[in-house]
């Protein structure tokens, strides 16, 4: 039976890549974006690939998140997999210089959005036959690592890991399973937009690291989608860029000259 997958933030970046990948694997897909103007073009683009639906949804608004669940159930009958993918990045400045409004936005989307999504999906799956799988998206900071100018984003992702662990524990005696996805560094507009107002030298330096550790959406998303569909256990952790892989890439960087940005522009 074709499985029903909800991907929040599915109109761009890794979310859009996941939507495409799940459609290619014969899933029914529900996406959301912040506005109808972001959702409609994607639905038109992907409609030929399979059964897809989408609505506008601000994941920081619990009523809208519930409406997303309800729309998926109305269209497809149930939700088997819910992926809390929606996320935003803070400006590359010290925490003390960060705009207060931006701090609120990053926390609202990355943390509250993940909480509201997990809350709605867990409750809905607990009430449907066969339960389902709720995934939380990790990122820089989830494991406690620190990087300059990433304080707000990293703090939200650190909290998301705690949320995932707590929900895995709560799901033990239910048919709901909770897991986490760590996509590594993926070349998306989310990654690159924060460098628009930074010195060119800083971007060039970042690109050197990205060309070692990062990957394109079309490489990472299908790999993740396959493992999401194969997962059966509560507590499943899907990690693209492990510490071992990262070490190997740095060790062979001098012999493996990748240029992800040239590929993206080609």
The tokens for 98 are 């960060």
Triad 117, 122, 125: Cα angle to 5°: 120
Alpha helix stretches (DSSP H) within 138-216: 151-170, 189-193, 200-213
In sequence order, which residues have a C-beta less than 8 Å from that of residue 96 and are 6 or more positions away? Answer: none
CA distance 29 to 100: 35
Instruction: Pinpoint the alpha helices (H) of 25-143.
Output: 36-46, 62-76, 100-107, 113-127
**Helix pair 100-107, 151-170: axis angle to 10 deg:** 20
Nearest to 184 by CA among 163, 142, 213: 213
Angle separating helix axes 151-170 and 113-127, nearest 10 degrees? 20
Active site amino acids: 153
| Number of CB atoms found within 10 A of residue 140's CB | 17
Count the Cβ atoms, other than its own, within 10 Å of residue 161: 18
């Amino acid at each position: 039976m074709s499985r029903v997958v909800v991907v929040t933030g599915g109109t761009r970046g890794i979310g859009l890549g996941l939507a495409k990948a799940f459609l290619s694997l014969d899933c029914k897909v529900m996406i959301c974006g912040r506005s109808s103007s972001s959702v409609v073009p994607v639905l038109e683009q992907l409609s030929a690939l399979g059964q897809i639906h989408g609505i506008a949804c601000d994941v920081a608004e619990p009523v809208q998140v519930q409406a997303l669940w309800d729309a998926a159930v109305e269209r497809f009958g149930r939700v088997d997999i819910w992926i809390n993918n929606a996320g935003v990045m803070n400006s590359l400045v010290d925490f003390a210089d960060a705009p207060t409004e931006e701090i609120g936005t990053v926390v609202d989307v990355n943390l509250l959005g993940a909480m509201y999504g997990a809350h709605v999906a867990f409750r809905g799956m607990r009430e449907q036959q066969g339960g389902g799988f709720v995934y939380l998206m990790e990122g820089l900071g989830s494991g406690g690592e620190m990087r300059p100018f990433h304080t707000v984003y990293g703090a939200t992702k650190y909290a998301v890991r705690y949320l995932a662990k707590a929900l895995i524990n709560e799901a033990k005696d239910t048919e709901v399973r909770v897991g986490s996805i760590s996509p590594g560094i993926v070349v998306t507009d989310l990654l690159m937009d924060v460098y628009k107002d930074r010195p060119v030298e800083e971007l060039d330096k970042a690109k050197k690291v990205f060309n070692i550790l990062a990957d394109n959406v079309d490489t990472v998303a299908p790999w993740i989608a396959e493992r999401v569909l194969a997962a059966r256990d509560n507590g499943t952790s899907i990690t693209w860029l492990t510490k071992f892989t990262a070490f190997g890439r740095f060790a062979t960087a001098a012999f493996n000259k990748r240029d992800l940005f040239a590929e993206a522009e080609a």
